[in-house]
A and B are shown apart, each in its own frame.
Chain A
Amino acid sequence: MIKMQGIRKIYRTEHVETHALDSFDLEVKSGEFISIMGPSGSGKTTLLNLIGLLDSFDRGSYVLDDEDVSTLSDRQMSRIRNLKIGFIFQTFNLIPDLNIFDNVDVPLRYRGMPAKERRVAIEEALATVGLASRKKHMPAQLSGGQQQRVAVARAFVGGPKLILADEPTGNLDSAMANDIMDLLEKINEQGTTVAMVTHDPDLAHRAPRQIHLLDGSLIDLETQDKPVPLINGVPVGLAKAGC
């Protein structure tokens, strides 16, 4: 599903260059569920942005779903995001002026699906996340957990191959977080690849595969021969020099 090789991402501001990712390799197979952990500033969001074609990188190659996406136009990237990827954000990012139904409708509108098909898909998605009765509600009228469930519905309503979630439970209490995790697992069971960034080790360990980022480099815990001791969630002795 995802095959990244030698990826480098540098953020340049006027005076500072930040090497967010350097010589970065990652391979994720179709149908996998991975969790991404790492300390703040280690490049988790950056990685997710690159996987999701939200941002461009400076060097390396990236094949997504058997398609080389290293050099695509903005329009082509928009189209792939729309058709193949679903996003879930820490801050939910529902559109405050649209009701729940219209919010879930947003990605479908951008692919020009006929109204009838959209209606069926949206109602099914809302039923899956248990919010069928709230479709006329505005986001502000829902709790945080409910809003995030709407966002989950919006992410998978179009049947994407890949769902990317950046700290989807970061703003939720643990009961709601578990709800969201249940939903993600349910979606994954139907064959959708899921990549989730989280700071919560309990949630991370529910994913079959966990990867760890440290200063823009990867430690894949599943592929490690022996378990790496963690201090505050950081693998000991693997911090790379440099950068």
Chain B
Amino acid sequence: MEFGPIFRALLNNRTRFWLIIVEVALTLAIVVNCTSIFLEKRRSFNSPTGMDVENILVINTEPFGEDFAVQDFVKDVGESDLARLRSRPSIINATPIHHIPLSGSGSSTGRKAAGSELDTVGISYFSVDEHGIETLGVELIDGRNFNQAEIGRRSDGGNEDMPRNVIVTKAFAERVFPDGNVVGSQISNGDDEYTATVIGVIDLMSNCWPRSSIGKHTMLQPSAAGDSREMNYLVRAEPGAIDTLYTELEELMISLETDRVVRVRTLSEIKLGYYSRTLMAMKIWAAVIVLMIIVTSLGIVGLTSFSVTQRTREIGTRRALGATRSAILRYFLIENWLITGIGLAIGTALTILLNYVLAEYAAAPKIDWILLVGGAAVLWAAGLLSALIPALRAITVTPEIATRSV
């Protein structure tokens, strides 16, 4: 094939092509890094939470009636709310809860193995009753659930009121008890003033901050309904029932007790809210990727067109010397292939460099080599398609151009 002379001609006229080479190299570096960030964000959004997110509704109540100043009244309302919810058809179960998972706001503390000299590990906690596990849809993989006797009043601060029995996630358990034997072990706060027994381990549950480094360090504590004036309930609907429930639950709650504002949301909705910036960023990254590829393709179309126009007489001469139309087409495609190839080679180095910088200063993930290969393949294809347009114009140059006086 005619690689040799095409390549030598390229080297002899670098000015005509360096712009495409630089463009392709930069595009590869930016597109691959953006895609890597995009995929990382999508992975974070789609990563399993351990919960039955699609079927969970969140009910938030804000009482304004004076009766709610009385603790016993609040407790009665809570108990009757939950009893009513649990008995309603198409609701699998319901639980009181004080913070909402995946919402971006909640409480966290530090816990360690009791007596250990090590630092405490961050963990976010939720107070639920014995229906919590089923309502959340999390999987208990070791130990047991809370029993009714343990469901007490939520702590107001003092260590004496703190729950004695807790359930933790596997992720936290593995951090704090690397040797196993979690169930029955004691965990404590930093100065060992308060200890609790781990009675169960759940496989996975994202907490209020799923994106954070402790996003899967989650602890369930026992708590009864009506611990506070403002109450949150989680309701787990049977598959397919969530839409109907979504529209009916507000009315149901008001009908049980009128002096309150009730707000019903889906857990999916809350998750979307928490990830809204991530999703926006994903859209921006996607737009940058697509735009870069389009701009580069247009650049190649433009520069190759220019080069075809400039070389009209050369093309005519080649035709006169015996080049067929397909030989001319091949010439321009091979030329583009070589230029893009050089650009991609430089771009690969640039991609890795940029990734290194981004990883260092912006905690970007390391690039998967498949992504690099894929990005290069896409740009190569885009380059060939872009060169095809001017190359098809080049083959319309007639051989008699060669003898035309300028």
Contacts and interface: CB of A to CB of B under 8 A. Distances in A.
Interface of A: 45, 48-49, 52-55, 74-75, 78-79, 81-83, 87, 89-91, 93, 95-99, 102, 105-107, 109-111, 138, 154, 166
11 contacts: A49-B400, A78-B319, A81-B399, A90-B403, A97-B13, A102-B8, A102-B9, A105-B5, A106-B5, A107-B322, A109-B5
A93 B327 contact: no
Nearest to A90: B405
A84 B314 CA distance: 20
B309 interface: no
B325 interface: yes
Given A78-B324, A107-B322, A49 B403 contact: yes
Given A83-B322, A87-B402, 11 more contacts: A54-B402, A55-B399, A74-B324, A78-B322, A78-B327, A90-B403, A91-B313, A93-B317, A97-B8, A97-B9, A110-B321
A79 B143 CA distance: 85
Contacts of A97: 8-10, 12-13
Contacts of B228: none
B128 to A, nearest CB: 76
B321 A48 contact: no
A46 B193 CA distance: 106
Nearest to B323: A110
B403 A89 contact: yes
Given A81-B321, A107-B321, A154-B321, A45 B327 contact: no
B406 interface: yes
Interface string B307-339: 000000110011111111101000000000000
A89 B322 contact: no
Interface of B: 2, 5, 8-10, 12-13, 313-314, 317-325, 327, 398-400, 402-406
A98 B12 contact: yes
A6 B8 CA distance: 46
Contact of B320 (A74, A87, A96, A99): A87
A102 B5 contact: yes
B402 A79 contact: no
A159 to B, nearest CB: 13
Contacts of A105: 5
Residue of B321, B325, B404, B405 with most partner-chain A CB within 10 A: B321
Contacts of A52: 320
B9 A55 contact: no
A95 B314 contact: yes
Contacts of A138: 12
B399 A54 contact: yes
Nearest to B322: A82
Contacts of A48: 403
Residue of B5, B313, B320, B324 with most partner-chain A CB within 10 A: B320
Contacts of B317: 89, 93, 95
Contacts of B318: 95, 106, 110
A98 B12 CA distance: 7
B400 A55 contact: yes
Residue of B10, B325, B327, B400 with most partner-chain A CB within 10 A: B400
Given A55-B400, A89-B402, A98 B321 contact: no
A143 B319 CA distance: 25
A79 B322 contact: yes
Nearest to A92: B317
A97 B13 CA distance: 6
Contacts of A109: 2, 5
Nearest to A93: B317
Nearest to B401: A54
A111 B2 CA distance: 11
B320 A98 contact: no
A215 B400 CA distance: 20
Nearest to A166: B403
B322 A93 contact: no
B334 to A, nearest CB: 12
Given A97-B9, A99-B8, A75 B321 contact: no
Contacts of A107: 321-322
Contacts of A87: 320-321, 402-403
A74 B313 CA distance: 18
Given A75-B324, A79-B322, A110-B322, A98 B9 contact: yes
A142 to B, nearest CB: 15
A106 B13 CA distance: 18
A96 B399 CA distance: 18
Nearest to A55: B400
B9 A95 contact: yes
A183 to B, nearest CB: 18
A54 B5 contact: no
Nearest to B321: A107
A55 B313 CA distance: 15
A78 B323 contact: yes
Contacts of A95: 9, 314, 317-318
B300 to A, nearest CB: 19
Contact of A93 (B313, B324, B325): B313
A93 B318 CA distance: 9
A166 B403 CA distance: 7
